[in-house]
Structure 1
Amino acid sequence: MTVHHQRRSRLRDALSEDVPSVFVTRDLASVRYLTGFSGSNATAVIGTDEVHLITDGRYREQAHHDSPDVAAVIDRDVVGALRGLCTGQEVGLDDRTPMGLAQQLTEAGLTVRAVADPVAPLRMVKDPQELDALSRAGGITARALEQVADTIAVGDREADVARRLEAAFAEWGADDRAFATIVASGENSALPHHRAGDRPLATGDLLVIDCGAKVDGYHADMTRTFVVGAEPNEWQQEIHSLVLQAQHAARDAVAPEVVAGDIDAAAREPLTRAGFGEAFAHGTGHGVGLEIHEQPMLSALSSAVLPEHAVVTVEPGIYLPGRGGVRIEDTVVVAHAPQVLTEMQRGLTRVG
């Protein structure tokens, strides 16, 4: 029995009796989770006894390679293919399915009903194969960042550092980057999602690098903050020390059965106490896996309860517009003894 067969069995067990007998999802990450197929056009049809994968002719061979225990249906007409597979059965559509498809299926004579996504809760709990891929992705990310940090020099462009880091991911064995690498220097470091650009690194800059490697479809995510070409000054040391305290408090709070909002509160407490609460303007973290942002979200409003073997980021920050910012982030496995997958020193060190 393949790992994907086991996941589909868990899905069937999780579906309540009032859910339609056929579940359909076009979410590519969920399709990959359930079938192993990694193409860009896919619909998974999960019946009580049969499983089908609808894709197009570009992926005929890949479908058989990625999903040998699933019946492939090669047809660009998804509505027609579903009509052929599901006539006479009520179809449960993942509630993220575009309304247009639901309408087309209804017009084709099928009985359809939107169901709350039953795959996302399963994907939160990583199985051993997933944990292995995430561990390798995290290790590659940390090693590559350590390697590239040693090469950074005053005058390098942000974009040059990003490209060197992404090349290092490949050298260490990653399949791809997990997302566009953030290299934010000087005043740009106060922008949480700055895109690496042409700005040259200057002496005394804070330098935030947020990066991740991808292995077997699974994403790592980590951030470290450096000072370029000089020792950190007093205000840089102050905000870095506070963010480090916040990150440590949040990582210590990560455990099974903990409410996600409580982890966010643990990160905010030292920053708010020091007067920097308003300077931390995003959530403390998020789940990672086949997508870079998955459930659960670690935010003030989140009531999600963390299951054992979920994998989340912990990433508090302080951002001071026009001056600079600090963020420290790790990817962490939820357990009674949490495991950090992106282990690397967290001090405010000089580069260049």
Structure 2
Amino acid sequence: MSKRINKLREELAQLGADAFITEKAENRFYLSGFTGSTAWVIVTAKDSFLVTDFRYVEQAQEQAPDFKVINNERKAVDCMARLLKENGVNRLAFEAGSVSFQTYSDWSQAFDSVEMVPTNGLVEKIRMFKDESEMVIIREAVRIAEAAFEHIQGFIRPGVREVDVALELEYFMRKQGASGSAFDMIVASGARGALPHGRASEKVIQAGEMVTLDFGAAYKGYNSDITRTLSVGEPDPKLKEIYDIVLRAQLAGLEALKPGVSCKDADAATRDIITAAGYGDAYGHSAGHGLGLEVHEIPGLSTVSTYVLEPGMLVTMEPGIYVSGLGGVRIEDDVWITADGHENLNKSTKELLILPV
């Protein structure tokens, strides 16, 4: 944790801020290791504080040994105001994107003469680079999701509802050690495959339909995110053709993932293939996104991204084609950028699986 705090202090020094405050759960956990639901992390040039209430004091002391744990007693905002004053804080950096207007108003009033300095993505930019300790956890989250995909192939058949597939996936992942699903699963069969975010519905899967599965495991605070599209019996020839195009695009996108490549160019590697095949208008989302404590993090792989890939970044690669009234295909892997290229964390097949009916 000390390396993360030191990087944050370097950012604060550049801003000319005396301290930083966050109550965002992911950033609080990243900086301190605390997993409780109520707390504020305050980092100054010399000290790190974790302000919480009676319910979490003991937990905080155990999980955040490098922090000075402060019991806020009755009113947290007054406790923090005293803390800032005692530590000579004149300029306080806060996360403009995750602080409500009400909270900002309360802080501005209680912190009195402290100047509030809005920031955006201060901790997220540090989180963008995963170290080996994080990757150990993320690899396990990926393993759990991969095992779930292998398992669900024997569960999907005509007559099964999409919601039952989602339930079985989550149940299996929890038995494998996951704390739950990383996000609301996408199980989209038949024509619903044209919905990029087609959440599992009551629809019954039919023979001859393609099924897109987009899911991930939440494990020790981190997430995996995998998409596979398979067919229940022989699919429509047009969808089979679309599958081949998406697979070619995804493989080209993976090939582009290495240090020095712009995220915009990585996106283009997939988009050029899909556009050349005549489906450019059916590919309306970005090629991928950062992944970690949150399912969607920076950097994004998109037509407007300004990031360049660097070692330590973890991104998804997930091109897709969606045709209204027919269905859709998406294929997604989780990829860690390394010094000499990348490591694809997913090993499950991407050849079109045609399940027996």
What TM bracket, shorter-length normalisation? over 0.9
2:12–2:18 Cα contact (<8 Å) kept: no
Q: Which structure 2 residues correspond to residues 1-352 of structure 1 after superposition, within 5 A?
A: 4-75=1-72, 77-87=75-85, 88-90=88-90, 91-96=92-97, 97-108=99-110, 109-111=112-114, 112-228=116-232, 230-335=233-338, 336-352=340-356
Give the letter aligned to residue 105 of structure 1: W
**Which segments of structure 1 move beyond 6 Å, counting only runs of 4 or more?**
none
- Structure 1 residue 142 displacement after superposition: 0.7
CA distances 1:59-111 after superposition (whole Å, capped 9, x unpaired): 22321222122122232633212201101412111232233333322222141
The answer to whether the 8 A contact 2:259-2:341 is kept is no
The CA distance in 1 between the partners of 2:53 and 2:150, in whole Å, is: 42
SS of the aligned residue for 1:319 comes to strand
- Which runs of no fewer than 5 residues in structure 2 stay unpaired? none
Q: Confirm or deny: 8 A CA contact 1:286 1:297 kept in the other structure.
A: yes
Q: Give the match's secondary structure for 1:202.
A: coil
The 8 Å contact of residues 20 and 42 in structure 2, kept in 1 or not, is answered as yes
- Post-superposition Cα deviations, 1:209-251, rounded to whole Å, max 9, x if no partner, equal 00101111110000000111x1233211110000001101111
Secondary structure of residue in 1 paired with 2:289: strand
Q: Give the aligned residue type for 1:134.
A: I
Q: Note closer, same or farther for the CA distance 1:178–1:305 as it changes in structure 2 (3 Å cut).
A: same
Partner of 1:93: helix, strand, or coil? strand
Residues 140 and 82 of structure 1, relative CA distance in 2, 3 Å threshold = same
Q: Counterpart amino acid of 2:78?
A: G
SS at match of 2:165: helix
Q: Counterpart of 2:42 in structure 1: which amino acid?
A: V
Say which SS state the counterpart of residue 298 (structure 2) adopts: strand
* Aligned residue identity for 1:81: C
Distance across 2 between alignment mates of 1:291 and 1:205? 32
Checking the alignment, whether the CA contact within 8 Å between 1:23 and 1:93 is kept in structure 2 is yes
Please state whether the residue corresponding to 1:338 is helix, strand or coil.
strand
- Helix, strand or coil for the counterpart of 2:94? strand
TM-score by length of 2: 0.94
Q: By how many angstroms is 1:37 displaced? A: 0.9
Contact 1:138 1:212 in 2 (8 A): yes
2:93 maps to a residue whose letter is: G
Task: Quote the Cα distance in structure 1 between the aligned partners of 2:203 and 2:156.
Answer: 14
CA distance in structure 2 between the partners assigned to 1:292 and 1:74 by the alignment: 32
Q: TM-score, normalised by structure 1?
A: 0.95
Contact kept, 8 Å, 2:189 with 2:210, in 1: the verdict is: yes
8 Å contact kept, 2:158–2:206: yes
Q: Name the amino acid aligned to 1:101.
A: T
Q: Within 1, Cα distance between the matches of 2:264 and 2:15?
A: 31
RMSD across aligned C-alpha pairs, in angstroms? 1.5
User: What amino acid is the match of 1:320?
Assistant: V
Of the structure 1 ranges 151-160 and 99-108, higher mean CA displacement relative to structure 2 is found in: 99-108
Task: For 2:225 and 2:39, locate their aligned partners in 1 and report how far apart those are by CA, in whole Å.
Answer: 26
